[in-house]
Amino acid sequence: MTPMQQQEIRSGISAYRDLLDSDPATLPEIFLRSAAEFDLPDALNYKQHGQWRSISSQQVVERASRIALGLYSLGLRKGDRAAILAANSPGWTLADAGCQFAGVIDVPIYTTLAPDSVRYIIDDSKARVFFIQDRATYERFDAAIADCGSIEHFIFLENGDSDARGAISLAELEERGADLQRESPGLLDELLSGVGPNDVATLIYTSGTTGEPKGVMLTQSNLASNVHDASEKYSFSQGDISLSVLPLSHVFERTGMYVYIRYGMRVHYAESIDKVPENLKEVRPTIFIGVPRIFEKVFERARMKAALSGRVNEMIFDWAIEVAKEYAAFTSAGQAPSMSHAAKHRVADTIVFSRLREFFGGRLRFCITGGAALPDEIYLIFTGAGISIMQGYGLTETSPVISSNNPSASRVGTVGRPIRNVQARIATDGEIEVRGPGVMQGYYNKEAETKEAFTEDGWFRTGDIGEIDNDGFLKITDRKKELFKTSGGKYIAPSPIEQMIRSSRFVSQAVLVGDGRKFPAALIVPNFEMLESYARLKELEISTTEEFCKHPRIINLFARQIEAATLTLAQFEKVKAFALLEAELTVESGDLTPTLKVKRRVVDEKYQALIDEIYRNAEKEPQ
């Protein structure tokens, strides 16, 4: 791009300085306003060849502009669709921004999806352009989408290879945009001015724990309003630093990215899931967004490290964790800890909590979590250790945030109060219904499903069961579709019971089953590292996962752990039988959604024979 062209774009950015008193109404305005207000030299940061490299706010706008014009040169017009399948990177964010600048509807796709699922999304959305990470990713999906007639061009975000059909690199796309800018200098302004608040910005396909995915149509104002309203109670500032870990194909992380950009935060992209611990120490973020499983795994790792370092250290760690929970229980209730609790907390902070904080880099102001229920125990542990976790709640269909705890108002066991401009109510059957500016336009090409998703008076049915307390805090009980009924007619919510079971140090994952049965049972994936430590302590000769899952002493251990963790349950909710699984439930195996939620229908079908065996064996024993 020539200096004159750069000056034209910068003049466009400068024009947004006159609008700083109002909230941006579209995503392009968010990018342009950020560049005008903050002009960061290191807005987006990524690791390359072992070194962190930066892209400035100005460069983000310049490159997004070239991508927008490049898409136009390929024949895409406002309302056309472009798919994005890649790991988190500046290229992902730039491709998204370029689509928004052009009025093109982008269709994010999880990298973990099976090829057939990717094909379904391409066919349903009729995407004309496919942004894809690299040649290896292309080859993985090529056979499945080879005859998808809508795709005209592949654009490689990395390692472009012209041998692939209709493929160009992102750099080549930007060159095409720069050429078009020279030929038609007023076209970019025309594209930007054509993007309105009510235009569909993105088509996000739900990960689908049940049934086929549905394309959620979110408008520019859906997303932009959620950025502002969800941030209202947070003191985000230009001094904040973030690490992007969750997939940008999920609306939670993506809206988080817009929040980072809107408030002038510096964004760092994690190299990979395996590199997150290393990247946290390098980046030392002040803000961190994650799903509950991330925090559970951090705690499990710390607990395992203590267990492996000897019985004394394990006992000290366990003592410190109890201190953290007691301390957080006081502070969360607005009460001052006693002098003895405060003294114990200071000691525990020195020997345990400071190391837990150091895992996140040592300067976190707070973490924000959503996507699944955060166990109360995890909240209390981290809060008591000086790591504030703000649990929120939302759905893809609500852009996503509906409610959130925040630094000024937080309550354990809840997902906070509804954010600004969002209202929530509880239907007669317990379902949470909401309305507000973030609620989707509807499901793409699914008129019947869209109609079913709303009440007659226009409230969106979330599909979640919950309650609102006297202070307006929302509590989620379970997914409406995940409730199951025993043969005795009792309804059971599986998630809270699974959380109880997972509180055991010996449990990694737990799935409750029992629809139509006399009582609930559980499929449990053990924490095998912790079991190995237990076996050494008890001098048990066990070496393989298969032996662990069948050994009578281990079975007895889990029976006792389950019983102790579920003492408060009603009799009909008690887990009276279980089986131990040798393999972890994963996204790759199809057991979990990309946001780590259990696909219950898939698990039920996959382990049907084992589930039947659990109940056959249980019938032989007195209940």
Hey, what's the torsion of the CAs at 388, 322, 511, 467, to 10 degrees? -60
Let me know the angle formed at the C-alpha of 132 by 129 and 133, rounded to the nearest 5 degrees. 160
The pLDDT score that the predictor gives to residue 507 is 95
Give the separation between CA 388 and CA 379, rounded to whole angstroms. 8
The pLDDT score that the predictor gives to residue 299 is 92
Q: Give the distance, in angstroms, between the CA of residue 276 and the centroid of all CA atoms in the same chain.
A: 15
Region at 399 (left for phi over 0; alpha for psi -120 to 50; beta for the rest) = left
Give the separation between CA 488 and CA 468, rounded to whole angstroms. 29
Give the separation between CA 400 and CA 226, rounded to whole angstroms. 7
The pLDDT score that the predictor gives to residue 373 is 86
Give the separation between CA 507 and CA 428, rounded to whole angstroms. 36
Hey, what's the torsion of the CAs at 261, 265, 266, 268, to 10 degrees? -70
Answer for the pair 101, 28: CB distance below 8 angstroms, yes or no.
yes
Residues in the chain: 623
Give the residues of the chain that fall short of pLDDT 70.
1-21, 160-164, 207-211, 621-623
The pLDDT score that the predictor gives to residue 585 is 94
Q: What are phi and psi of 356, to 5 degrees?
A: -65, -40
Look up residue 164 and give its two tokens: 């692939």
Continuous segment of H or E residues that includes residue 529: helix 528-537
Let me know the angle formed at the C-alpha of 170 by 164 and 171, rounded to the nearest 5 degrees. 115
Give the separation between CA 481 and CA 478, rounded to whole angstroms. 9
The pLDDT score that the predictor gives to residue 21 is 60
Hey, what's the torsion of the CAs at 480, 484, 490, 491, to 10 degrees? -20
The pLDDT score that the predictor gives to residue 5 is 52
Question: 0.85 cut: is pTM over it?
Answer: yes
Q: Give the distance, in angstroms, between the CA of residue 595 and the centroid of all CA atoms in the same chain.
A: 5
Residues contacting residue 548 through CB under 8 Å, at least 6 positions apart = 526, 528, 531, 535, 542, 554, 580
Strand, helix or coil for residue 7: helix
Cis peptide before 285 (omega within 30 of 0): no
Q: Looking at the DSSP assignment, which residues form a beta bridge with residue 45? A: 54, 268
Region at 54 (left for phi over 0; alpha for psi -120 to 50; beta for the rest) = beta
Look up residue 317 and give its two tokens: 């760690």
**What is the DSSP secondary structure assignment for residue 106, as one 8-state letter?**
E
Q: List the one residue out of 401, 387, 356 whose CA is nearest residue 286.
A: 387
Q: List the one residue out of 296, 306, 245, 232 whose CA is nearest residue 530.
A: 306
Q: Looking at the DSSP assignment, which residues form a beta bridge with residue 426? A: 432
Strand, helix or coil for residue 332: helix
The pLDDT score that the predictor gives to residue 161 is 58
